[in-house]
Structure 1
């Protein structure tokens, strides 16, 4: 499997996905391919989030999540974004799994700042990171704009997210950088994961990067450099891209 010749000036979404590939084992390919925003599949997924009732997040937290993910991976000419692909659903479901409760890690004291290669160091499990982090962000927005994050315009939301990333927003309970990294990591995972987990409902990200998914018939294609994979991706549950 191989990619077409890369664009001379790749889009922000393509750069975002290319940088994510080394972090997400499921996404192990590259290609071109654009998913139309007006495709029936893209329109259909709007209801994935709209009709979903969160299991973990309350109404205010859910509105924050929708707004933040729309800024991190927006819908554009390259395809549907995080919200329309169901990434908020993916994150909410993860909060009710062992991952959300931090049961995948050693979570006993002492807790101390350390290099990333030393592993997870926070005393907060992911579900608590979201709850405390969203409150931190909304409190900041109320102080600065007299509005919650989801009520801000796009440019204001992006400025707040940059402040979180730079760790300019923090309190004794949590550092904004920790919360931002949690949110961004889960956004990437949900956008690139198999649809069975809640996100990537139209396989748009797989189609964009040329990942064949659960197909078992692309071995010969791997041996053909500079030739794009001719078929669309297939999910674990046999869902196919349009």
Structure 2
């Protein structure tokens, strides 16, 4: 991976550079969903448009498409989460051991603790998503007479800010826990190997200068701080365009 040292690197790229080292290896293999044209006008639908979710139902899927589109939107720096298949990644993860919480110790007692002490909730990821989507949609319908996916982008972002700041929470699931779950899974899917559903065009790897599953760049490591000249490669052999 290379870093050109430029202080003017776009904030989106800096965010991904800082995020890559934080993704748990156990969660680095998962799937994604599709967004309706009404929810994201002018956006590239990518693989999500034709994907049939196995865990999320139709209403939940619309929510996942909308929320991932707001967390990593398509912009001048590159494609967004939806067109890269992040919803697909998340849907697939919910049916893997990760989604069922089989990768963690999930016995009580459960308590509120500092993040440094690890995951403390009794809810596994699939429960957090399902309960959270139901609670957020119910709140949005009460406040706006619309589901989350039907809100404007600004309204959706306002809801997310409230969840992130703990101003919006529910008995079924803490708002902060829900936001953290959604953000982490979205970042994981965006930076995952395409084999697992997200990052379908290897856009995020190209953005941060990550070569992927190449085995021919040893010589480049002897020249730090210089961009790697070749595009990234997936575990499956898929190459960037």
**1:11 paired residue number:** 10
Map 1:64-83 to 2 at 5 A.
Answer: 64-83=63-82
Task: After superposition, give the CA deviation of every residue in 1:89-137 in whole Å (9 maximum; x if it has no partner).
Answer: 0000000000000111111222111111222111111000000111111
CA gap of 1:220–1:25, structure 2 versus 1, over 3 A, is farther
Cα RMSD (Å): 1.6
Q: Output the CA distance in 2 between the equivalents of 1:18 and 1:47.
A: 24
> Could you tell which deviates more after superposition, 218-227 or 202-211?
218-227
**Residue of structure 2 equivalent to 1:36:** none
Counterpart for residue 2 of structure 2: 2
Task: Give the paired residue count.
Answer: 224
Residue 163 of structure 1 aligns to a residue in which SS?
helix
SS in 2 for 1:140: helix
Tell whether the 8 Å contact from 1:2 to 1:226 is kept in structure 2 after alignment: yes
**Counterpart secondary structure, 1:65:** helix
Pick which of 13-22 and 55-64 moved more: 13-22
CA distance in 1: counterparts of 2:105 and 2:193, whole angstroms: 27
Aligned to 2:149, the other structure's residue is in SS state helix
| Displacement after TM superposition at 1:198 (Å) | 0.3
What is the match of residue 33 of structure 2?
Answer: none
TM-aligned CA deviation for residue 7 of structure 1: 4.6
Gaps in structure 1 of 5+ consecutive residues: 27-44
The separation in 1 between residues aligned to 2:206 and 2:108, in whole angstroms, is: 43
- Structure 1 2/19 Cα, relative in aligned 2: closer, same or farther at 3 Å? closer
Question: What is the rounded CA distance, in whole Å, between the counterparts of 1:69 and 1:172 in structure 2?
Answer: 23
Q: Secondary structure at the match of 1:92?
A: helix
> In structure 2, how many angstroms separate the alpha carbons of the residues matched to 1:86 and 1:161?
21
* Alpha-carbon displacement from aligned partner over 1:4-25 (angstroms, at most 9, x marks no partner): 34252x3231132022022126
**Secondary structure at the residue paired with 1:130?**
helix
CA distance in 1, matches of 2:59, 2:194: 26
Q: How do residues 225-236 of structure 1 correspond to structure 2 at under 5 angstroms?
A: 225-236=224-235
Higher mean Cα deviation, 194-203 or 17-26? 17-26
**Cα 1:47–1:207, aligned 2, differ >3 Å: closer, same or farther?**
closer
Q: Does structure 2 retain, via aligned residues, the 8 Å contact 1:190–1:200?
A: yes
Structure 1 residue runs of 4 or more that deviate by more than 4 Å after TM superposition: none
Aligned counterparts of 1:227 and 1:235: Cα–Cα separation in 2: 22
- TM (norm. structure 2) is 0.89
Q: Structure 1 residue 174: deviation in Å?
A: 1.1
In 1, the alpha carbon distance for the partners of 2:90 and 2:153 equals: 22
Match of 1:118 in 2: 117
83-92 or 167-176: bigger deviation? 167-176
Equivalence for 1:193: 192
